[in-house]
């Protein structure tokens, strides 16, 4: 089957590849591709009042940490940590700090629960970027994605213990179950990120016009799609993700899961097309030369294509890349200056 899929992928040519030669061609392409992308996302929930609740509030040396929960849709709520800098500022620029695979929102907030393995996990991936940005003056929110953190629990309707069924990947399981009724897991998480923006804009301590987003790995997936589809995100950093669906899904260890899939997407566009919807807003890409999941040489090819789009739109300075000598991890070498400049 590996050889079969390799042959099939090699024959695919995206029908809506972004190759404009004028700004007008880009405008026409953008409208067509965005329409198709929304069509592929499928059914989205209906908006309901956020009804936010403050569950706890803890004070640290450099920041305050709140645990909140708000309604995303009729049948789902989003738990999140909000990190507030101890600066005398009534309106903070805000960042959505999206986590990747792992323990959920706790990872990016540096919460290891006293577990040595989790402590090393956070250190090795430089994963606590919500804390890092908060200490530099940004109000940061870290929501749990589905099905991670407090949203990972699986309870069978006919009984049984909570937790992912033995031998099953929770992302793939939720993707398959949703597919039967035309509901996509990635689309639900994009929706939750948009509701997170709604929540940020409802806070009196947030400058609603200065909201950015950052994420590693699956957090990069969420940053890419959310920024592409919601212009309220004014600047973004995608770490360890921007690449090509023609490459990483076919790697030997199959680093792809149901939380990142929109059926039929590759027939119309690739990572470059999604990212082209971000243009001309500021976008910084991070890639590690030793990343075993997202090959950095493929990232460089995608970046080169994206750079042509930004140049066409006379916005070259709004696109940058950080190629670091690391593995699958958050770099942060350029990101602080990036958000300070653009937010």
The 10 Å Cβ neighbour count of residue 5 is 11
For residues 40-64, one letter each, b for 16 or more C-beta atoms within 10 angstroms of the residue's C-beta and e for the rest, the string is bbbeebeeeebebeeeeeeeeeebe
Contact 108, 129 (CB under 8 A): yes
Please state whether the peptide bond connecting residue 147 to the residue before it is cis, i.e. omega within 30 degrees of 0: yes
Contact 115, 67 (CB under 8 A): no
The closest alpha carbon to 328, from 121, 186, 59, belongs to: 121
- 248 burial level (CB within 10 Å; 0-12, 13-18, 19+): buried
pLDDT value for 90: 84
* Cα 274 to Cα 247: distance, rounded to the nearest angstrom: 16
pLDDT value for 161: 47
Query: Can you identify the CATH homologous superfamily of domain 2-342?
Result: Alpha/Beta hydrolase fold, catalytic domain (3.40.50.1820)
Q: Which residues contact 128 (CB under 8 A, 6 or more apart)?
A: 107, 108, 109, 110, 122
Contact 72, 190 (CB under 8 A): no
pLDDT by 10-residue block (mean), the chain, 343 residues: 90 96 98 97 96 97 97 97 89 97 96 94 97 97 96 61 69 92 97 98 97 98 98 98 91 80 95 98 98 95 98 98 97 97 98
- Quote the distance between the C-alpha of residue 225 and its chain's center: 7
- Going by the DSSP 8-state scheme, the letter that residue 15 receives in this structure is T
- 137 burial level (CB within 10 Å; 0-12, 13-18, 19+): middle
């Amino acid at each position: 089957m590996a050889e079969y899929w390799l042959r099939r992928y090699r024959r695919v040519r995206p029908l809506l590849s972004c190759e404009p030669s004028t700004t007008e061609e880009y405008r026409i392409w953008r409208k067509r591709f965005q329409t198709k992308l929304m069509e592929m996302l499928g059914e989205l929930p209906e908006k309901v009042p956020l009804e936010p609740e403050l569950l706890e509030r803890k004070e640290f040396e450099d920041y305050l940490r709140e645990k909140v929960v708000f309604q995303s849709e009729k049948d789902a709520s989003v738990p999140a940590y909000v990190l507030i800098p101890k600066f005398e500022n009534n309106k903070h620029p805000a960042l959505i700090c999206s986590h990747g695979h792992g323990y959920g929102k706790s990872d990016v907030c540096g919460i290891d629960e006293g577990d040595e393995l989790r402590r090393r996990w956070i250190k090795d991936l430089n994963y606590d970027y919500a804390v890092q940005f908060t200490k530099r003056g940004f109000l940061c929110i870290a929501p749990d994605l589905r099905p991670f953190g407090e949203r990972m629990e699986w309870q069978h309707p006919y009984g049984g213990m909570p937790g992912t069924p033995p031998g099953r990947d929770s992302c793939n399981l939720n993707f398959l179950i949703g597919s039967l009724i035309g509901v996509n897991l990635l689309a639900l998480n994009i929706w939750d990120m948009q509701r997170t923006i709604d929540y940020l804009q409802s806070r009196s301590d947030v400058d609603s016009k200065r909201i950015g987003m950052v994420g590693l790995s699956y957090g990069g997936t969420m940053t890419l799609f959310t920024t592409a589809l919601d212009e309220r995100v004014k600047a973004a950093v995608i770490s360890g993700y921007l690449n090509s669906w023609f490459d990483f899904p076919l790697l030997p260890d199959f680093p792809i899961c149901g939380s990142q899939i929109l059926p039929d997407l590759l027939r119309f566009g690739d990572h470059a097309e999604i990212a082209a919807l971000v243009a001309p807003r500021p976008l910084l890409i991070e890639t590690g030369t030793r990343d075993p999941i997202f090959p950095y040489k493929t990232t460089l090819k995608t970046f080169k294509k994206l750079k042509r789009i930004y140049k066409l739109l006379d916005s070259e300075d709004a696109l940058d890349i950080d190629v670091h000598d690391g593995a699958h991890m958050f770099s942060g070498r350029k990101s602080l200056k990036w958000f300070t400049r653009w937010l």
